Structure 1
Amino acid sequence: MPAFMNPFRRPFAVGSVAAGALFLAACGDGTAPDGTAAGSDGAKPAPALHSHIHGLGGDPENGRLYVATHEGIFTPDDTGSPQLVGDSRDDFMGFTVAGAKTFLASGHPAPGSDQPADHGLIKSTDAGRSWTSASLKGEADFHSLDHAKGVIYGYDSTRGLLRVSKDGTSWQSRAQLQALDFAVNPEDPNQVVATTAEGVARSTDGGASFGSGEGAGMEYLSWGSPGALFGIDFTGALSISPDGGATWKKTATVPGGQPQALTAVDERHILAATQDGIYESRDAGRTFTKRLSVANGDHH
């Protein structure tokens, strides 16, 4: 367990903003992440995902959905069933798509591994099929990752510290705070918001300092566009803020129980993971459609 203990009752999970457009309808295009026919090895995938979800993302090149879980990265096959990407069963915590086939993540090795307990920052350039260590191996546990304008932000849960990097190798320490999740304005990396026990805390200096948490309590945040910051609370109620978290308006309640992750692709296209599935909205959260079933929504 990390030395830093979060004040929230639930484990930390990511709700970062995925880079590029995500079209879930394209997820069932019949190809596996490596371009081969999905399920061509004869293995029959499970009809639902049996793992806690930590993050959601989409490859801007082909629109494929990727799901970061406690037991690996998954993507839907041509039947809509979850298919393991690569062969890693690691616990992927922080997760974000940084470009075509380019993913950034953090987390922990699978049970039985001889690797350090914390991955630090890891990177994939083949859509999650393989991963390499980028920095801070054995030194940092990023439970949330986001990026904007080429700047990477990571919340290191071992220290309760927001860190920032322009190259994924060298890091600057920013504010120390007790947060569950955070999000960065996609057009202005100086604007950062974080969920705290007191409410949403805001920063205008790139996370160097935060004001006091205020307003309705949120679990996860995701910034779809400068004027569309989304937040979801522990009941699944989704709200939108047009002014960077100063004011909020509830739009809907996401089905399926307690939330596990939130990703706003843009100001209208939203993905949310709850205890029983992954849901998509294309009307800014007014209505949702279930896209992938989850059989085990319990937290680890």
Structure 2
Amino acid sequence: MKKLVLLLFTGIILLIVPLRALAHGSEEHASETAVNYWSYGLIISFLLLAIFLTLFITAKTKMKYMNLKNKSNREKHTAMRKRNSLYKWGSILASVVVVFFLIAVNVNGEDKVTFTHIHGLGYTSDGEELFVPAHDGLRVYKDGSWTTPTEGAKHDYMGFNMFKDGFYSSGHPAPNSDLANPLGIVRSTDKGKTIEKLDLYGEIDFHGMTVGYDTEEIYVFNPSENSRMSQPGFYYSTDKTKSWKQAELAGLEGQAGTLAAHPTKKGVVAIGTDQGVFLSENHGNQFEKLSVSGAVSAVSFGHKNNLLVATKTDKMNLFQINLSTNETVELNVPDLGEDAITYFKQNPVNSNEFVFATNNRDIYMSSDKGNTWNQRVDEGVAISH
């Protein structure tokens, strides 16, 4: 009996060893394994509780009906009473362990919102929701919490852009989807529940794509010849993919890495390169270099004809350029170490709210015009408030 109690204690110690010391693989795999691990502990502790309770009740019943006038029975009764004391304490200890694992399963079993990749950022037109394509579908931030939408296929959205009525995107279909790969250009007006195939379906995956929030003008970096574009280059459509024109890119310098279409002004597009940020007012045919220096890692348009720019010099820098007055305001940046900003957006309704994402799958938000920042995703794991 003492060996059985010792076995129980040994099992408890092994089961409450920190899981991450034993788990291997990705964060998501470790999280999933953790839930299973605590569940196994709960099952084992329930079995131990059942064993001890059965032994206790059985012994108690035998003792009740034992004839104590018999000397042999009295000796058996004394021995059984000692064992039953161990059964009782074993039952109590097992009950405590069951409660422990019930709590552990509940805490560790909560769904954690994670981001395998971050392929863009975009707000809904009411400014209430932030959408993030995360390789396996969308993630949504609203009222301080992250969620993974349950409706709609978990497509790998690339070149993702929100517009006033939904989003445009390119990318690849979900693993179990019957859609062709790649998606070409698609659009959704119901937050990803369904998607509409617009153009180049099954032909091209555009990683470099931008869409005007109100104008719905589309600009793409085309990587190869296809049925709609005769050669690689920079193309634009002013009629929602019905027709395409190739832009000349005169005045653009360096290797392009990021681009943004003006939300309300037709023909206005910005491109960030390793040589700086460039602005065109004629659909990308002619560009003018702006005053911000350094390699540009993110660019987007904000309120009141402002251009938002992230540059990488000896550190990360965030700028807000008023294109009407050429006034440039530098925003504070949290310490990112060697990390780099990849997407930078302003809430379309609340001009005080900014958000940016990084290479390391971090997301920061500011509610005071970029003076202070709060981390909302840490290396691909959501932080809710």
Q: TM-score, length-normalised on structure 2?
A: 0.57
Residue 245 of structure 1, CA deviation: 11
Structure 2 unaligned residues grouped into runs of 5+: 1-108, 224-231
Match of 1:22 in 2: none
Provide, for residues 205-225 of structure 1, a one-character-per-residue CA deviation record: whole Å limited to 9, x for no partner. Answer: 122232468732211101102
Equivalent-residue separation in structure 1 for 2:277 and 2:325 (angstroms): 7
Residue 164 of structure 1 aligns to which amino acid in structure 2? S
1:142 is paired with a residue whose SS is coil
Match of 2:257 in 1: 180
Residue 164 of structure 1, CA deviation: 2.2
Provide, for residues 231-267 of structure 1, a one-character-per-residue CA deviation record: whole Å limited to 9, x for no partner. Answer: 1124542112123796744211145532232212254
1:280 pairs with 344, 347, 365, which one?
365
Bigger Cα displacement from structure 2, 185-194 vs 196-205: 185-194
Residue 48 of structure 1, CA deviation: 4.1
Alignment CA distance shift 1:228-1:213 (3 Å): closer
2:154 is paired with a residue whose SS is coil
Alignment CA distance shift 1:202-1:81 (3 Å): closer
Match of 1:19 in 2: none
Match of 2:243 in 1: 170
Residue 172 of structure 1 aligns to which amino acid in structure 2? K
Residue 111 of structure 1, CA deviation: 4.8
Equivalent-residue separation in structure 2 for 1:244 and 1:151 (angstroms): 22
Equivalent-residue separation in structure 2 for 1:183 and 1:245 (angstroms): 20
Bigger relative CO (Cα 8 Å, ≥ 6 apart): 1
Alignment CA distance shift 1:246-1:206 (3 Å): farther
Equivalent pair of 1:280/1:288 in contact (CA under 8 Å)? yes
Equivalent-residue separation in structure 1 for 2:127 and 2:273 (angstroms): 35
Structure 1 unaligned residues grouped into runs of 5+: 1-43
1:206 pairs with 265, 275, 283, which one?
283
Equivalent-residue separation in structure 2 for 1:163 and 1:93 (angstroms): 17
Equivalent pair of 2:297/2:340 in contact (CA under 8 Å)? no
Match of 2:124 in 1: 59
> Matched residue pairs, number?
253
Residue 279 of structure 2 aligns to which amino acid in structure 1? R
Match of 2:15 in 1: none
Q: Does 1:73 align with 2:138?
A: yes
Alignment CA distance shift 1:174-1:116 (3 Å): farther
Greater fraction of residues in helix: 2
Residue 170 of structure 1 aligns to which amino acid in structure 2? S
Match of 2:306 in 1: 228
Equivalent-residue separation in structure 2 for 1:232 and 1:58 (angstroms): 19
1:258 pairs with 340, 365, 372, which one?
340
Residue 99 of structure 1 aligns to which amino acid in structure 2? K
Alignment CA distance shift 1:246-1:90 (3 Å): same
Alignment CA distance shift 1:127-1:48 (3 Å): closer
Provide, for residues 173-218 of structure 1, a one-character-per-residue CA deviation record: whole Å limited to 9, x for no partner. Answer: 3245752111223332232210112211221212223246873221
Once superposed, what is the RMSD of the aligned Cα atoms?
Answer: 3.1
Equivalent pair of 1:57/1:97 in contact (CA under 8 Å)? yes
Alignment CA distance shift 1:91-1:160 (3 Å): farther
Greater fraction of residues in strand: 1
1:134 is paired with a residue whose SS is strand
Q: TM-score, length-normalised on structure 1?
A: 0.71
Match of 2:274 in 1: 197
Equivalent pair of 2:152/2:192 in contact (CA under 8 Å)? no
